[in-house]
Amino acid sequence: MEKTRDIIQRVRRIEMQARRLVTSTFAGLYRSGFRGQGLDFDEFREYTPGDEPRFIDWKVTARTGTPYVRKFHEEREQALLLAVDASASMRYAGGQSSDSKLEYAALIATTLAYSAAFNGDKTGLLIFGCSPHFYLPPAKGARQYLRILSSILSSPADGKDEDMASVVDEILRTQRKKTLLVMLSDFLLTPDKKAIGKLNFRHELIPMRVNDPVELSLPEGGKLHVIDPESAEQFSIDLSDASLRANYDKCVHAHLTEWDRLFDQLGIEYLNLLTNTDFMPSLRMLFKHRSRLSLR
């Protein structure tokens, strides 16, 4: 009962934060940055000089003996799928950060879902890093973004990081139509270029990496007792050991760089976010950039 009350209180707090963040200006940025990116088939018409040759339908052309092209119209709505990592590592909340990585991700997800609802778009949710995965099909309306928020906050807390291929397979299985896909995770799992490439080919992928600044660099100090949230393994480390801190920083940097390089190689726009910072400036910049690209 106490856990239920706690979840309800956190849902109300995060919902109010998201409502304050989604101003009419931001809702407009969402619309211009994420809507109208795709094309739906409309009809066939005869080819005229100047038409794009890639739109010629060769089957219709062969059947009629006259070149025909496929005519498209801009999609009037686009579904948003939020893929949220709820593994045990996402429950971490360091020193000066009052929210865990999962709560921070939940606020971002709710802000996007509320913006989608404001614009009449559908939003769905896939929670991974728990077994079984939780899937909420895309739907419209205010109730949907509240379902999304409460589902994230009430997700099981004992999940482990899993291989990206299984997450990608689940998304491809549930999403047949091209979707705007925002993936919120600390990306502590092993980089998988093949899986991410396949996902980005089928959908419009925007990874948003959420990290706590405390876990990126070990502070100087004495001995620290550590518990791995996913394996429950316990051990002690000596923070006064400079070489240990340096090796840790080196490993963390190498892992982050590997994911950054993967995204860059695939031409994927992504965000790196820290739980002790305001994510809205980065979101606004992303939306503005996408809006400019859609006008070209």
pLDDT digits (tens, 9 = 90+) for 278-296: 999 999 999 888 777 655 5
Claim to verify: residue 151 and residue 231 sit in the same structural domain: yes
pLDDT number for residue 293: 65
CB 34 within 8 A of CB 290: yes
Structural tokens at position 187? 């990306």
Percent of all residues in the chain with a pLDDT value above 90, rounded to a whole number: 45
Q: Is the pLDDT of residue 152 over 90?
A: yes
CB 69 within 8 A of CB 50: no
Claim to verify: residue 222 and residue 168 sit in the same structural domain: yes
CB 294 within 8 A of CB 33: yes
End-to-end Cα, the chain, rounded Å = 54
Helix (H) or strand (E) run with residue 137 in it: strand 134-139
Structural tokens at position 173? 């299985």
What is the number of other CB atoms lying within 10 angstroms of the CB of residue 126?
Answer: 20
Q: Which of 44-48, 175-179, 193-197 reaches the highest mean pLDDT?
A: 193-197
**Residue appearing with tokens 């404001």:** 118
Among 27, 49, 74, the domain boundary falls at 74
Claim to verify: residue 172 and residue 206 sit in the same structural domain: yes
Claim to verify: residue 191 and residue 150 sit in the same structural domain: yes
C-alpha closest to that of 152 among 174, 182, 173: 182
Structural tokens at position 106? 């939940």
pLDDT number for residue 53: 75
Among 26, 48, 74, the domain boundary falls at 74
CB 182 within 8 A of CB 82: yes
Q: Which of 36-50, 159-173, 202-216, 220-234 reaches the highest mean pLDDT?
A: 202-216
pLDDT number for residue 259: 97
Q: Which amino acid appears at position 121 of this protein?
A: D
DSSP string for 232-289: --EEEEETT-HHHHHHHHHHHHHHHHHHHHHHHHTT---EEEETTS-SHHHHHHHHHH
Claim to verify: residue 45 and residue 170 sit in the same structural domain: no
Instruction: Compute the mean pLDDT over every residue in the chain, rounded to the nearest whole number.
Output: 84
CB 122 within 8 A of CB 137: no
User: Span 40-45, mean pLDDT?
Assistant: 63
Least confident of 1-15, 137-151, 165-179, 257-271: 1-15
Q: Where in the sequence is the domain holding 64, given as residue range(s)?
A: 39-74
Q: Which of 50-54, 160-164, 176-180, 220-224 reaches the highest mean pLDDT?
A: 176-180
pLDDT number for residue 230: 66
**Residue appearing with tokens 């982050």:** 256
Q: Which residue has the higher pLDDT, 213 or 63?
A: 213
Q: Which amino acid appears at position 64 of this protein?
A: T
Q: What is the DSSP letter of 224?
A: E
User: Span 138-166, mean pLDDT?
Assistant: 88
SS3 94: coil
Q: Is the pLDDT of residue 132 over 90?
A: no
Q: Is the pLDDT of residue 157 over 80?
A: no
Claim to verify: residue 100 and residue 172 sit in the same structural domain: yes
Q: Is the pLDDT of residue 36 over 60?
A: no
Claim to verify: residue 133 and residue 172 sit in the same structural domain: yes
The CATH number of the domain holding residue 22 is 3.40.50.410
Claim to verify: residue 45 and residue 119 sit in the same structural domain: no
pLDDT number for residue 37: 47
Claim to verify: residue 149 and residue 97 sit in the same structural domain: yes
- CA 265 and chain centroid, separation: 18
Contacts of 199 (CB under 8 A, 6+ apart): 168, 171, 172, 181, 205
Claim to verify: residue 285 and residue 198 sit in the same structural domain: yes
Among 57, 74, 91, the domain boundary falls at 74
Strands 234-238 and 180-185: unpaired
Claim to verify: residue 54 and residue 139 sit in the same structural domain: no
User: Span 206-220, mean pLDDT?
Assistant: 90
Name the pLDDT band for 82 (thresholds 50, 70, 90).
very high
Claim to verify: residue 70 and residue 113 sit in the same structural domain: no
CB 112 within 8 A of CB 182: yes
Q: Is the pLDDT of residue 191 over 80?
A: yes
Number of domains within the chain:
2
Name the pLDDT band for 171 (thresholds 50, 70, 90).
very high
